[in-house]
Amino acid sequence: MSISIRKTAKKTIAIIGDGCAGWSLAARVDRLSADHIELFKKKDNHFSHSWGFWQMPWLSDAVSQSRKKWNKWQIITSDGSVEHHSVNHPYCSLKSDVWIKSCKQKFLSAKTKTSITEIPVCRTEKNVLITSEQKSDFDVIYDSRPPVAKSNILLQHFRGLEIRTTKPVFNPDVAILMDFRVSQENGIHFMYVLGYDEYTALVESTFFSLSPHPSQIYETAISEYLKTVFNLDKFEIIHNESGIIPMGHVSRVDKNPFLLAIGSNAGAIRPSSGYAFCFIQKQIEHFTSHNTNPTSPHKRYDLWMDSVFLAVLKSNPEKAPNLFLKLAKSLSGDAFARFLSGDARMKDYALVIYSMPKWLFICHAFRVLAGKRQRITR
């Protein structure tokens, strides 16, 4: 089949990908100076996910569309627990399909001419996108396709079930962000429980390890947890979701220097936590408001602290529950939300550093530094 070469308008922009970053940028197209903006996507194959984040100034639109907000949340281990409270920064849960639908409506109703092409991009050559049917040249190309994870890094992988019960067992006032009272034999493992009401909750089995597990591992863990903690052995599964998030260095999926990477492809995932939605919005809000190219939404100091923390977790996975508990105990609810949202104050950093085992972190800090120096000299 021959491929046609399409001539484009004078000022054109392309967005590759229809995930969180692609659609979040698409919703802000009127801030971009262009005659025509085209979004390239695969045919609809999206599975709805739940995105969690704390309310922050740059997330007001997302907060207004949230399914639920919690002013209280917990970190639980076999040795103790912490319950945080925050009025200023509640924890929010947003359904991905709700967000994407809203972004799509804004994109299609924008003043700028827009269009959607349901043909995946096969490859790029400088400022040209090549699909199975045509070549198209653009003045600017934003690439939101998933990045390539570096080998031998920790992955956050999970499977979640939204369930409904016939008896009231969940606390809709408190979100459980981490409950480590589960088996740790297959990696760092915790449960994430969002009670939407007394009968309905999202329950996720989450691991930090070098590779994902078969689905049965997560589902068995969820069933055992519900039986042990909630005395629940019968429930209806409303929805299921799963995912794999790299926790560390990632590489752009396409090395073409003409492309402007955004979202996870531009390192928007917070390495130590896997939180992405908050930072994708922060990144896109910043560069579309200031008319600049996309940059990392993370502070250098946050990335440095994350690299050391991840090195400790990788070498000492058995210490993970206690380390997360110490971190949570060192901060108030507001400070904890700020710290994990990349908006920490100097006092927050000091409290976190003071709470961690000094010698363990100093040793790994030197190892991280040594590793960076080796990469530079190669």
CATH of the domain at 225: 3.30.9.10
How far apart CA 28 and CA 280 sit, in angstroms, is 13
Query: 33 pLDDT band (50/70/90 cuts)?
Result: confident
CATH value at residue 112: 3.50.50.60
Token output for 317: 């996975």
What single-letter DSSP state applies at residue 43? S
Domain match, 279 and 241 both: no
Cα–Cα separations (whole angstroms), residue 29 to 23, 41, 136: 10, 16, 19
In a domain, 60, yes or no: no
Across 158-163, average pLDDT:
97
Q: Is the pLDDT of residue 321 over 70?
A: yes
Domain match, 192 and 335 both: no
Secondary structure (3-state) at 31: helix
Domain match, 170 and 225 both: yes
Q: Is the pLDDT of residue 5 over 50?
A: no
Note the pTM of the prediction, 2 decimals.
0.92
Across 154-182, average pLDDT:
97
- Are 148 and 251 spatial neighbours (Cβ–Cβ below 8 Å)? yes
Domain match, 255 and 232 both: no
Token output for 219: 């589902």
In a domain, 38, yes or no: yes
Query: 372 pLDDT band (50/70/90 cuts)?
Result: low
Q: Computed over its alpha carbons, how large is the radius of gyration of the chain?
A: 22
Domain match, 227 and 343 both: no
Across 33-55, average pLDDT:
89
* Domain that includes residue 314, residue range: 301-377
Q: How many CB atoms lie within 10 A of CB 169?
A: 17
How far apart CA 271 and CA 248 sit, in angstroms, is 5
State the average pLDDT for the chain.
92
In a domain, 239, yes or no: yes
Across 186-212, average pLDDT:
97
Q: What percent of the chain has pLDDT over 90?
A: 85
Q: Is the pLDDT of residue 74 over 70?
A: yes
As for how many domains the chain has, the answer is 3
Domain match, 234 and 281 both: no
Query: 45 pLDDT band (50/70/90 cuts)?
Result: low
What single-letter DSSP state applies at residue 265? G
Q: What percent of the chain has pLDDT over 70?
A: 95
Token output for 90: 């509640």
Q: Which helix (H) or strand (E) holds 178?
A: strand 174-179
In a domain, 62, yes or no: no
In a domain, 77, yes or no: no
Query: 46 pLDDT band (50/70/90 cuts)?
Result: low
Looking at residue 374, its pLDDT comes to 52
